[in-house]
Amino acid sequence: MNSPLSRRNFLKSSVAAAILAQMSARVATAETRSGIPYRTLGRTKEPVSAIGVGGFHIGLKPTEEEGIRIVRTALDNGVNFLDNSWDYNGGGSEVRMGKALRDGYRAKAFLMTKIDGRTKAGAAKQIDESLSRLQTDHVDLMQFHEIIRHDDPEAIFAPGGAIEAMLEAQKAGKVRYIGFTGHKHPDIHLHMLEVAKAHDFRFDTVQMPLNVMDAHFESFAQKAVPVLVEQEIGILGMKPIGSGWILKSKTVDPVECLHYAMNLPTSVVITGCDAMNILTQALEAARSFKPLEQSQLEALLARTAPAAKEGKFEGYKTSQTFDATAKNPQWLG
């Protein structure tokens, strides 16, 4: 237990905890709705629920009826942030969410979706298809999805690139705010920000995996989050439980995972809910959240450090093959 290796890992965890605690001091709850804390979305100042419902799971496991029920129950219980993507379950996730947003529910939601297109023509087509599936004339936030290759930023900002379609959609009122997502490496996120700056553009939001394992390996929290805080860009945390993989480490429970991600300077922590009991768990985690003391954070990171070695529970970072042609693109291997 007191070997040099374990001692070194503990010291690294302590340093990480101190950095994260300092950043987390900037987290402030603007209000609560039905007990759910609300935060501001970066410099947009939009009020968003600290917990958001992930769109992928809505179209995956539950029946359509249960998927709709999950979305509406979340909105009725104080959550307003909804996540989705053009490519989730072959468009099925957007279709279900669109049905859930009927009967006045659209007005309760801060609705986000994502597109994969890298060209102007491809992006424009996907934007319109997403709006059609979601049964709305606009989304509150649209993001460039899967920025996972180092040349993705150049493709998006090239002449005839996807940014042109996104800006036109924004001007037309189809899109209010613009962001991007990715989960491969924080350096790619930083590169995207640099390319955007070179084109005199600043994103409103950035989405990335933020969880107890990320803190120890190629950390988005340590490398990307401080830059986003400095630039007042809304931070969207995803994979707080790693689609359940992190729980297999036997080091943390689901509520601890959600509380850790909420303790970061996130505007929203997006979590997948494929059943009503999972949604209930997320709601309870949000309502019971209190900022972690540094000693609590250090203990949590010291406990998870051994399991996080070499990204064992973060396959989306470590897998080398990505099947972009599959119906539901995913990391392989």
Name the pTM for this structure: 0.90
Looking from the CA of 52 toward its CB, the CA atoms found within 13 Å total: 28
Res 331: pLDDT: 35
Buried b (16+ CB within 10 A) or exposed e, 134-150: bebebbbbbbbbbbbee
CA distance 162 to 300: 41
Pick the CATH number of 4-332 from 3.40.50.20, 1.10.3720.10, 3.20.20.100, 3.90.1150.50: 3.20.20.100
**Rg of the chain over all Cα atoms, to the nearest angstrom:** 19
pLDDT in tens, the chain (333 residues): 333 344 455 445 555 666 666 566 556 667 899 999 999 999 999 999 999 999 999 998 779 999 999 999 999 999 999 999 999 999 999 999 999 999 999 999 999 999 999 999 999 999 999 999 999 999 999 999 999 999 999 999 999 999 999 999 999 999 999 999 999 999 999 999 999 999 999 999 999 999 999 999 999 999 999 999 999 999 999 999 998 899 999 999 999 999 999 999 999 999 999 999 999 999 999 999 999 999 999 999 999 999 998 888 898 998 754 343 344 434 332
Furthest CA-CA distance within the chain: 62
CA 277 to chain centroid, in Å, comes to: 21
Res 25: pLDDT: 52
Q: CA dihedral in degrees (184, 186, 191, 193; nearest 10)?
A: 110
Residues 108 and 80 sit within 8 Å (Cβ to Cβ): yes
Instruction: Break the chain into its structural domains and give their ranges.
Output: 4-332
CA distance 4 to 78: 47
